[in-house]
Chain A
Amino acid sequence: MGEDSEFFFSLIVNGISIGMLYALIALGFVLVYKATEALNFAQGEFVMLSGYIAAALLTAKGMPVIGAIIGTIAIMVGFSFALERVVLRPLLGRPIVAVIMATIGLAAILRGLPPLTFGAETRAVPLPIGDDPLVIGPATVPPIQAIGFVVTLIFLGGFTWFFRKSRTGVALRAVAENQQVAAAMGINVERYFALAWAMAGVASAVSGIVWGNMLGVDVQLALVGLKVFPVVILGGLDSIAGAVVGGLTVGVVESLTAGYVDPYVGGGTKDFAPYLLMIVALMFRPYGLFGKRKIERV
């Protein structure tokens, strides 16, 4: 391979490996939207919060790694559960602006709390994995990204199976389709809402551990939440496979613009190139690439 194509290849590989991690965050977002039609603007803050929890548990004395990971997941599930009960349930049936603003308010709270409780310094999330990067041709992938890749694939497979085959998953889809009819069929809608948030809590906890290990945990970690929007819009807000496709697209686009455009314009394109792509996509497919088209009645 020539030098140019090697550069291109490594950009693509980096884009794919980081894109899978975006997809992991987006999963938490899509799970909630799919079942409850609530748009969670605090997804990035969820990731940050679970990063803090993981950092605290992993550095605690005498705590085995697996225990810390399970602990983080358990705390995040409990947190999402409580959140649904206290904040989002009263907003059921209210205009979409209300839910968006509630999660924005939540994001503000979560962003303000860590400096008050944990202090301002960046914390590490130590995981017992090596530093040797994976070598794929001319490209190298840090081990944590490889792990993230595998975890995302497992989640993708698991959730797809869950929604297609399991009884609970089918019930969740029924709730998403039409709450009233689902309730008439004997499905406890509120319990399934709580379940959807709990699953999102699991996804957030795992993304918090992976991203926290990669970047270190501080308030800046919440900014990865901003990447989620182009991912989920490109993929369609209610499609799990779409989240992965969107994540990969955004990862690759980011990596390519950072490699080819940044040197000419002084950096920072990778933060808004996905958004540009998203707007173009929205003009042609207003419900995302894989999203369901809604039929409205007057």
Chain B
Amino acid sequence: MFHRETGVFKTSYASDMALYPLPIARGTVIALLVLFVVIVPLVFGEYYLSIINLVLISIVGALGLNILVGYTGQISIGHAAFMSVGAYTAANLAVRAGLPFWITLPAGGLMAAIVGAVVGIPSLRIKGLYLAIATLAGQLIIEWIINHVPWISGGTQASIQVPRPSLFGFEMKTQGELYFFLLFFALIAIVAALNLVRSRIGRAFVAIRDQDIAAEIIGIDIFRYKLIAFAISSFYAGVCGVLYTYYFGIANYEQFQLGVSIEYLAMIIIGGLGSVLGSILGAAFVALLPLVIRTVMESVGGFFFAANEMATVVSSMRLVIFGALIIVFLVLEPEGLNRLWRNIRNYFRVWPFSY
């Protein structure tokens, strides 16, 4: 946030690596917590909360993907499939065994982590575009399996209805109640990611991303850390899938197709690769984009398109704008929204002087 670093001296490595780099950051964090825990649910109604809830879920998935792509440099085009693994694991456990969410959620994450690590095994031998295509294969194969094995997918529609999450007998039904449920997990995901990337594991990830052979020479077990990256990233994806399932009340493989994988890649590219804040900004941006497009098209689109075509027009517009945004960010601002935010912050940090 906006603060000056004057007079803050770091005298140990521990303080240099601390989660709060400056004393004032504590205040910022408390202010943000108050904003999201108290003010947001009071100010916004059901409809807007339902959208914010989607953003919260996206944040979890985007964080996970950024750990893999942004920090470790291993591209995955199969993330939506890992989400579906988490979603169906949780849905099956919740419906057949009647388990509560605080068991199904980590179980879904773990299952996705195992599947993700298996899909990541080829990353030992192949990299770059070959790996990208191998994860694409993972996506298609997992999609097919879920769709064709009724034992997993629960019959013809390949969808399973799940009960609402409940805690101590209190069932979370309204968007406001779900908001706290999702906010809790999004916060855990953010704090865990922040801590992960400044730990030994996180630094090993970055070393592998920058030059994997060099990383191996300085003693990083590449295979192990690549698999860890896949597992952690897929764990996030699995949890994200479980949250989607509880949010919609249904697990359906159509929510987790190839397009979703690409949507999440778009989030971290627009937000900024290799940055936690970037994942959050990107997730919010991409999750809010369809809403903006729909609102705009509903108000002015009537002049250009017939009303009955509006649904296709909106979804096509969304694709086009997505694609254009990905390309624009890649070409003009490769470090994404995170960089834009840093630029703004740096400008105001010394304001009104130029440096």
| A→B interface (CB under 8 Å) | 39, 87, 90-91, 94-98, 100-102, 104-116, 120, 226, 229-230, 233, 237, 265-266, 268-269, 271-272, 275-276, 278-279, 282-283, 286-288, 296, 298
| Contacting residues, chain B, for A120 (C-beta < 8 A) | 312
| Contacting residues, chain A, for B302 (C-beta < 8 A) | none
Judge whether B318 and A112 touch: CB under 8 Å.
yes
Judge whether A113 and B133 touch: CB under 8 Å.
no
Q: How far is the CA of A230 from the CA of B133 in the complex (A)?
A: 8
7 extra A-B contacts, CB within 8 A, seeds A105-B322, A116-B317: A94-B330, A98-B334, A105-B326, A229-B136, A237-B129, A282-B126, A298-B214
| Contacting residues, chain A, for B141 (C-beta < 8 A) | 272, 275-276
| Contacting residues, chain A, for B18 (C-beta < 8 A) | none
How far apart are B31's CB and chain A's nearest CB, in angstroms? 35
B30 in the interface, Cβ–Cβ < 8 Å?
Answer: no
How far apart are B199's CB and chain A's nearest CB, in angstroms? 24
Number of cross-chain contacts by CB at 8 Å = 129
Closest residue on chain A to residue B126 by CB atoms: A286
Residue of A39, A98, A272 near B132 (CB, 8 A) is A39
B93 in the interface, Cβ–Cβ < 8 Å?
Answer: no
Q: How far is the CA of A279 from the CA of B121 in the complex (A)?
A: 11
- Mostly, the B contact residues are helix
Q: How far is the CA of A81 from the CA of B297 in the complex (A)?
A: 32
Q: How far is the CA of A159 from the CA of B132 in the complex (A)?
A: 27
A-B contact pairs, 20 of them (CB 8 A): A87-B327, A90-B331, A102-B326, A102-B327, A104-B265, A104-B326, A107-B323, A108-B319, A108-B320, A112-B316, A113-B316, A115-B313, A120-B312, A272-B141, A275-B137, A278-B133, A278-B137, A282-B130, A298-B211, A298-B217
| Contacting residues, chain A, for B125 (C-beta < 8 A) | 282-283, 286
How far apart are A243's CB and chain B's nearest CB, in angstroms? 15
Q: How far is the CA of A113 from the CA of B317 in the complex (A)?
A: 8
Q: How far is the CA of A249 from the CA of B75 in the complex (A)?
A: 27
Contact with A along B122-158 (1 / 0, CB 8 A): 1001101110111011001100100110000000000
Closest residue on chain B to residue A232 by CB atoms: B133
